[in-house]
Amino acid sequence: MSEVRHNWTKEEILDIYNKPLMELLYEAATIHRKHHDPNTVQVSTLLSIKTGGCPEDCGYCPQAARYHTDIEGNDLMSVQQVKAQALRAKSSGSSRVCMGAAWRNVKDGPEFDQVLEMVRTINKLDMEVCCTLGMVTENQAKRLAEAGLYAYNHNLDSSEEYYKEVISTRGFEDRLETIDNVRKTNVTVCSGGIIGMGEKEEDRAGMLVALTTLNPQPESVPINALVAVEGTPLEDQKPVSIWDMVRMVATTRIVLPETQVRLSAGRTQMTREGQAMCFFAGANSIFAGDKLLTTPNPDVNEDMEMFKLLGLNPQKPFIKKMQPETVEAEDSKFQALGEKPKWSRPEHKIERNEEAKEKAKALR
């Protein structure tokens, strides 16, 4: 079974999650190969453009002003600084830059205008631009879309039931409202969560129920392993096992077959073998660079060595996820024309100039 469904139940997802591991991996890998190129993984760079001082109380986050952590705060970066970081990321193989600001919600004014200029600047570099800035209104989402934003990240974090155990300053419904505001534009949605916060397997399944219920489903779902930071309420949580990560990635792939599953925080605690299992199970994106906002991350050179070892290729920007055989057929058609295909999202269609369209018709 690999069709897109919006009516998954918690019980069904738990049954998948708890399948014998080899059976689970086989099913996930089969679905992954049907909808994605199994040898291509997107490399993204996460950049903290404004660090620390957040008024919220997310139990996992060292950027909350109320917690005593060793995070060094900084004001909003300049457009020039962000451009320099984006160029560095692109030269290292990244096709996507995600900018994060430690805000509860976006406020109209000079700082937001500056972020919009950052989006325009990175967009001109032929890179996907993603932002995670907290809650946004419909109008703010439209302004981000007009600036060229490709994706907006707003994680659900956990199930609706467990969410209130981790966060009290923003409700689960607030997160859904922000996603709904983004959906009123052509910006794609990136939304996932964290495992290892003390939740039960039922909560992991509950989070996936919430994500699959969204229509359309998120184009991107990050799966994070908690990185416990001293000074936060979750500092004593033990690292989640690689088997839990593999099961979570595989289950996500099965219930969200067309979505890009992002292997996110916690990779420093994983071996290459563990990460390879996650890729086999359906993960097709990683974050590169020495930090994920504020927590450690593998060095980009280490990731490139891993890619070479596993025979993986970095995904190019603006790649529409299609069945590999469909992509190959379209590529062949354009090669016959002596032209390169241009893939585009979120409109979910191949954009060609009018001349190419006419030539393509003549070949049919």
User: Active-site residue among 143, 170, 262, 352?
Assistant: 262
- Whether 63 and 54 have beta carbons less than 8 Å apart is answered as yes
Quick check: is 278 catalytic?
Answer: no
Structure tokens at 131: 């932002």
> Which residues are within 8 A (CB) of 215 and not within 5 positions of it... i.e. 6 or more apart?
6
Sign of CA dihedral 60, 64, 70, 75: positive
State the Cα–Cα distance between residues 256 and 290, nearest whole angstrom.
29
Peptide bond into 346 cis (omega under 30): yes
State the Cα–Cα distance between residues 63 and 86, nearest whole angstrom.
23
> Which residues are within 8 A (CB) of 145 and not within 5 positions of it... i.e. 6 or more apart?
185, 186, 187
Quick check: is 54 catalytic?
Answer: yes
User: Active-site residue among 131, 143, 183, 190?
Assistant: 190
Quick check: is 131 catalytic?
Answer: no
Q: Which residue from 102, 101, 89 is spatially nearest to 44, judged by alpha carbons?
A: 89
Quick check: is 190 catalytic?
Answer: yes
Quick check: is 183 catalytic?
Answer: no
Residue holding tokens 């090669």? 335
- Whether 225 and 194 have beta carbons less than 8 Å apart is answered as yes
State the Cα–Cα distance between residues 61 and 83, nearest whole angstrom.
26
Q: Which residue from 111, 159, 110 is spatially nearest to 133, judged by alpha carbons?
A: 111
Quick check: is 262 catalytic?
Answer: yes
User: Active-site residue among 96, 130, 204, 352?
Assistant: 130
Coil, helix or strand at residue 63:
coil
Q: Which residue from 292, 284, 286 is spatially nearest to 261, judged by alpha carbons?
A: 284
Burial of 268 (0-12, 13-18, 19+ CB in 10 A): middle
Structure tokens at 263: 């292997």
User: Active-site residue among 54, 170, 253, 267?
Assistant: 54
Give ∠ CA 181-184-188 in degrees, rounded to 5.
90
- Annotated catalytic residues are 54, 58, 61, 98, 130, 190, 262
